[in-house]
Amino acid sequence: MRRILVTGAKGQLGSDVIQALKETGYQPLGVDRQQMDLTHLQEIKKVLTMLNPDAIIHCGAYTAVDQAEIERETCYQINAEATKALATYAAERAIPFIYLSTDYVFDGTKEGEYVETDQPNPINVYGASKLKGEHHVQNLLDKYFIVRISWVFGVKGNNFVKTMLRLSEQHHELNVISDQVGSPTATADLAPLLINMLKSDKYGIYHVTNEGFCSWADFAKEIFHVHGVETKINPITTCQFQAKAARPMNSKMSKNKLVEAGFIPLPPWQKSLENWRIADDKLRTK
């Protein structure tokens, strides 16, 4: 197993997966929208046949949660139908497949941490489309990893960390939601773990985030602390924010299964946020 197809290769996770594959001696076959449009199933099949990968890490996705409420069909095409096409190819060739899913497959009403066997119940289009993708993977494949992640941040692409830093340059105060709780996930930590999974045969569904829980407001405060920013955070409720798409109030996910399978859990999110700042500074000074 040498040639690994990575979808969404220019995104914040895909770019880190490409780098991690190179560092561990694999040959990454990175494709993004320009090379393989996930809304065109025939194009997906054509590119897969041409590249003939030994495994697939499917990072590509429609992730605009609020916009998905309007662009429902496109969201399902990318997150469900494209996943089905990729999984079908992997099944025909009996190659390993990693599908990146989300905490948004849950409704957020559980007390405590979600485990992998909890019944999903998405409350927005994005979460429902990702759950449909999960079902395709489970129905078609034996050699699969479904990896549920949340609150993703990387040096490349758009994310909450970059949004907060950008807004802090324009405002002295920011209103940030304080009643949704979950865990940030650093792509720099996640990417090597995905490769370790690929090397194993411990297939199944896993919850993977950095250690520790926080609210979005707590996350924002730590972002500003790490970067020496003095912008004030005003905690607000989900109702006050009035987003188009509903979000789960509780996105806490247990990583016990990950540890029991012998995988090393990701470090505390605060430490990874500090590492993000260092990596971002290096990228800016290049």
Catalytic annotation on 114?
Answer: no
Phi, psi of 277 (to 5 degrees): -60, -45
Beta-carbon contacts of 251 under 8 Å, excluding residues fewer than 6 positions away, are: 103, 104, 106, 108, 114, 150, 151, 180, 181, 182, 183
Q: Name beta bridge partners: 239.
A: none
Gap between the Cα atoms of 186 and 151, Å rounded: 8
Q: How far apart are the first and last CA of the chain?
A: 34
**CA-CA distance, 22 to 43, in Å (whole number)?**
26
User: Which of 191, 82, 185, 187 minimizes the C-alpha distance to 137?
Assistant: 82
Identified catalytic residue from 26, 62, 76, 126: 126
**Tokens of residue 213, six digits:** 């829980």
Q: 118 in helix, strand or coil?
A: coil
Integer-rounded Cα radius of gyration of the chain: 18
Q: Which residues are catalytic?
A: 126
